Amino acid sequence: MSSIRKKEELHTVPTKKTVAMKKSLRLADGLENLVSGLGTINDKSSHNRWIESGRNNDWAHLIARFREDWVSQKVCTIIPQDMVREWRSISDKRGKEAEDYFGIPTLFRMAYQWARLYGTAFVMLDLKGAGSLDMPLNVTKLKPGCIKSLQVVDRTRMFPCGAMCLDPMSPHYGMPEYYQFVGCPDKIHHSRFIRFEGTELPLFQTQRNQWYSDSVLIPLESTIDNFFTTASAAAQLCQEATVDIVTVDGLQSLLTNPEGERAVLKRFRLMKQAKSAFNVLIMDDTETYNTKTVALSGIKDLMN
């Protein structure tokens, strides 16, 4: 039995050839075509890769898009507006009065709108009898009528400070304990704010992003820009939809000197003025007039 077992073990010992074959074996998931190059190194799309643009830190760029680009503005505003369109019903009379007094639907809409634009926004709680702003808020000690004001603050006016919360059992784990207003040295505990997020990120990426989420506009920028480029090109085509063509006998010789060039330009300027003002086209007997029309039938499909 021992000799038979040794013979079987000898048959299972890998040779140099089998090791080399295993090393050269390449496993890949996906569709490949060696003739067309699809999925191989010759496929141009195989070299595509995504990189971080860092656009979330360029606040001036984001607000410029919001103010000048109606598509970007709609992306930021339409969902918050729809969320507060019907809002909610409160059975308690005092709760309804408080909500109307502080304008809670407007605060919610504005906070979520700026969060979608910049990545994060806050509602600061200004409360009476709630202790110092740098101390955690104890909601159990709050009394009726304690709300002094509620203020929406976007992330451009706030920055985190102090240490991170390192308690893994805390819902605030990995986030900053305090925030500061720009230009104000006082620390404010995170429990004094209600955070609104744009595009939420994994915890580590949120920390790398200065503890803020991303603007919802970042993945849409190239698509929006392509749309406006196409729309602008279509507008240019509409302006050039009909082009006047005038054939002038001896035009090339007239353009050989400055006087002839000025005379030709003056001639066509007067012709266009007469056509625009009096709907009359005045021409010499040596000139011919035609128009060239650009087909605009496919522009709608291109923009769609």
DSSP string, 222-283: HHHHHHHHHHHHHHHHHHTSEEEEEE-TTHHHHTTSHHHHHHHHHHHHHHHHHHHHHS----
The model's confidence at residue 263, banded by pLDDT at 50, 70 and 90, is: confident
pLDDT at 10: 47
Structure tokens at 62: 């984001």
* pLDDT exceeds 70 at position 19: no
Phi and psi torsions of 166, nearest 5°? -105, 10
pLDDT one-digit tens code per residue, 97-127 = 989 999 999 999 999 999 999 999 999 999 9
Contact 39, 33 (CB under 8 A): yes
Of 68-77, 165-174, 211-220, 228-237, the poorest mean pLDDT is in 228-237
Average pLDDT over residues 220-244: 81
* pLDDT exceeds 90 at position 68: yes
Bridge partner residues of 242 (DSSP):
293
Q: Hey, which of 7-16, 44-53, 109-118 has the most confident mean pLDDT?
A: 109-118
Exposed/middle/buried for residue 218 (C-beta within 10 Å: 0-12, 13-18, 19+): middle
Contact 80, 108 (CB under 8 A): yes
pLDDT at 20: 54
Average pLDDT over residues 208-213: 91
| Mean of the per-residue pLDDT values of the chain | 83
**What is the pTM assigned to this prediction?**
0.71
Average pLDDT over residues 55-83: 92
pLDDT at 189: 95
The model's confidence at residue 296, banded by pLDDT at 50, 70 and 90, is: low
Contact 73, 66 (CB under 8 A): yes
Place of tokens 């003739």: 35
**Helical segments of 92-211, H only:** 93-102, 104-118, 203-208
Average pLDDT over residues 276-288: 79
Quote the DSSP letter at residue 125.
Answer: E
Return the ∠ at Cα 246 (arms to 243 and 251), rounded to 5°: 135
